[in-house]
């Protein structure tokens, strides 16, 4: 029984950890990328240090080679002068320098191999980091889009639909009011005798109800003619 309870607790803890990781995957990924970037920077520093040591070893080897060349020439000169003791002493120093020269060559080879391996690892790590950074940007964009879809876009569609229905009801109500107003105006015109008389007059049935500009002009012309006749007489 206790074993089953313990197993259940372990399973629940594992599921909770997975849910937490899934819910915070993006922040975790960002931090992991930052850690990887720091690791790559540390690798660059290590490569730079190895390259500096390699160059120092190259300089040391060149100095040894120069000493060997100079000492060999001097030893040959001592042999030519039958100064065997000096020549032997020079040979002992040359033997030591040659051993140091071999050690320097081996160190240079080791540095070259180490630097080559570190550079290869660095290139691979940088490639993976760039891939992770691209993936992180895509994941962030997808996350933002998903939040917009769940929080904003659905609500906007609902609001637009409601606003469209409100506009339809408003337009229908306004149309109804306009029709009612037109009907009332028509009823008023029909019930008003003056309106009927005006309609008949406008249709040429009987004398006009209202004077027109032509009527006024005719009256003014007649008045003008009468005035002229009176002045002549």
- For 172-221, write each residue's pLDDT tens digit: 878 887 887 777 766 665 555 556 566 666 666 656 656 667 666 777 77
156 lies in some domain: yes
Q: How far apart are CA 186 and CA 181, in angstroms?
A: 9
Q: Which of 118, 116, 109, 115 is nearest to 61 (CA)?
A: 109
Summarize the confidence of residues 43-62 as an average pLDDT.
Answer: 92
Q: Are 55 and 161 in contact (CB under 8 A)?
A: no
175, two tokens: 């149309």
144: in domain: yes
For residue 30, give the CATH number of its domain.
Answer: 1.10.287
Helix 25-80 crosses helix 84-148 at what angle (to 10 degrees)? 170
Tell me, yes or no, whether 53 lies in a domain.
yes
Do the domain assignments include residue 82? Answer: yes
pLDDT (0 to 100) of residue 26: 76
Q: Is residue 223 scored above 80 in pLDDT?
A: no
User: Residue 31 is part of which domain span?
Assistant: 19-160
Q: What is the pLDDT of residue 105?
A: 94
Number of domains in the chain: 1
With respect to residue 167, please indicate whether it lies within any of the assigned structural domains: no
Question: Which pLDDT band holds residue 101 (cuts at 50, 70, 90)?
Answer: very high
Is 66 among the domain residues?
A: yes
Nearest of 111, 107, 1, 141 to residue 46 by alpha carbon? 111
- Among residues 60, 72, 147, 146, the alpha carbon closest in space to that of 103 is found at 60
Residue 12: inside a domain, yes or no?
Answer: no
Tell me which residue of 24, 46, 191 sits closest to 118, measured CA to CA: 46
Asked if residue 95 is part of any domain, the answer here is yes
Predicted TM-score of the model (pTM): 0.51
Q: Across the chain, what does the average pLDDT equal?
A: 77
**Spatial contact of 43 and 118, defined as CB atoms under 8 Å apart:** yes
CB of 72 closer than 8 Å to CB of 126: no
- For 137-173, the pLDDT digits (tens) are 887 777 666 665 555 544 455 666 777 777 777 778 7
């Amino acid at each position: 029984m206790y074993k089953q309870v313990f197993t259940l607790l372990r399973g629940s803890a594992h599921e909770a950890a997975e849910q937490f990781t899934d819910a915070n995957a993006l922040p975790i990924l960002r931090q992991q990328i930052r850690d990887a970037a720091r690791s790559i920077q540390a690798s660059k520093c290590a490569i730079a240090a190895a390259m500096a040591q390699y160059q120092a070893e190259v300089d040391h080897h060149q100095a040894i080679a120069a000493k060997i060349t100079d000492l060999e020439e001097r030893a040959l000169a001592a042999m030519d002068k039958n100064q065997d003791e000096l020549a032997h002493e020079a040979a002992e120093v040359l033997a030591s320098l040659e051993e140091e020269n071999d050690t320097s060559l081996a160190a240079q080879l080791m540095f070259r191999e180490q630097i080559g391996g570190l550079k290869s690892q660095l290139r691979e790590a940088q490639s993976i980091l760039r891939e992770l950074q691209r993936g992180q940007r895509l994941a962030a964009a997808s996350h933002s889009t998903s939040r917009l879809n769940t929080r904003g876009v659905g609500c906007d569609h609902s609001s637009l639909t409601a606003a469209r229905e409100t506009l339809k009801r408003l337009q229908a109500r306004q149309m109804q009011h306009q029709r009612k107003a037109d009907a009332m105006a028509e009823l008023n015109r029909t019930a008003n005798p003056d309106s009927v008389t005006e309609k008949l007059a406008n249709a040429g049935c009987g004398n006009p109800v209202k004077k027109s500009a032509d009527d006024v002009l005719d009256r003014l012309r007649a008045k003008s003619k009468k005035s002229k006749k009176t002045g002549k007489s």
